[in-house]
Amino acid sequence: MKVRFFMMGLLLAGALSASAQPDSTPNRQTMETLSLTQEWDKTFPKSDRVEHTKVTFHNRYGITLAADLYKPLDAKGKLPAVAVSGPYGAVKEQVSGLYAQTLAERGFLTLAFDPSYYGESGGTPRYLTSPEISTDDFSAAVDYLLTREDVDSAHIGIIGICGWGGFALNAAANDPRIGATVTSTMYDMSRVNANGYYDAMSADDRYELRRQLNERRTAEYRSGVYERDGGVVDPLPDDAPLFVKQYHDYYKTPRGYHRRSPNSNEGLNKLNSLAFMNMPILSYISEIRTPVLMIHGAEAHSRYFSEDAYKRLQGDNKRLMIIPGACHVDLYDNLKVIPFDEIDRFLQEAFEGQQ
């Protein structure tokens, strides 16, 4: 009954607004035409067991997203589907594509997409991230998958890697259409931006950071030019922390470098931190009812993000898997470390439970 009255209130508010300010703009979503690279330019080899195509779809903010669709070769009928994105500051030709292609080899139809504002996806200004829009990109991927005739609409899951692990949990909390969620080497982008690593920042530290960022905001508005954060530091300073050296080993070497990846090049917009500092993305993850598998390396500097988020999940269909000896970036591309057997099994069991 409460939900009914709430919805009636929203409809009434919309009707009053419409009557006060008539608008003849068509209520129709249109998509930007993107220029997509057709050659294979991934950081991993192309599988001969998978059909690969480029596709586009839009989110509810009107941004057109670019994606790689992976489908088991000669597959017939409707398939379970999985949308994949991340890491934060990476593109679909890197980690998410590897995850997507590997799962397609195992029978899933998968979609590795570039987030709004970077890679081959649309959105301006470039290199932004947003607590709301970055989360909605997952739901937009679900929108697209639900329109495909070869997708089993009752069996759609998502995988978020690194910072997109946090967005995946946020999306799962808000979107019951998501039947299963996997996070790999997750970051809580709100927490790390507001509190720093290991929650070392004080309220005074946060105030000073806000002051500096808003001074930059004023300067950028005056100049009309925004600055990027530089990506992964290169060359490495002698005193770089181990995890920074590990990032460098992936993003700045032939192992994982990609020309469209912000982390591999000049980085993301310097002002991205502002929104995350005030908008915690994991506020409602205790309300996720569908299965969740969280995966993290035992030696990862970021391990505490997954462990603390897992404690807030409710229900016996949630699991935390810690990989012995693995660091953060081992879960990017180390096929001996990434537990694809377990991810496959988790998704299959989650979908079977939703028959």
Check residue 123 and give its pLDDT: 96
Check residue 16 and give its pLDDT: 46
Check residue 301 and give its pLDDT: 98
Residues 110, 115, 118, 122: what is their CA dihedral angle, to the nearest 10 degrees? 90
How crowded is residue 220: how many other Cβ atoms within 10 Å of its Cβ?
16
| Domains, the chain, ordered by start | 37-195+280-352 (3.40.50.1820)
Nearest to 54 by CA among 74, 38, 30: 38
Pairwise CA distance, residues 237 & 248, whole Å? 11
Using one digit for the tens of pLDDT, what is the confidence trace for 79-99? 999 999 999 999 999 999 999
pLDDT < 50: residue spans in the chain: 5, 15-18
Give residues with Cβ within 8 angstroms of 247, minimum separation 6. 232, 263, 328, 329
DSSP code per residue over 288-340: --S-EEEEEETT-TTHHHHHHHHHH--STTEEEEEETT--TTHHHH-TTTS-H
The predicted model scores a pTM of 0.92
Check residue 26 and give its pLDDT: 61
Please report the beta strands in 105-170, taking only residues with DSSP state E, as ranges in sequence order: 109-113, 151-161
Amino acid present at 119? G
Residue 67, H or E segment: strand 64-72
Nearest to 56 by CA among 39, 33, 22: 33
Both structure tokens of 156:
């759609």
Check residue 353 and give its pLDDT: 81
Cis peptide before 87 (omega within 30 of 0): yes
Check residue 30 and give its pLDDT: 74
Using one digit for the tens of pLDDT, what is the confidence trace for 228-238? 999 999 999 99
Pairwise CA distance, residues 255 & 252, whole Å? 8
Nearest to 294 by CA among 114, 172, 195, 130: 172
Q: Are 127 and 269 in contact (CB under 8 A)?
A: yes
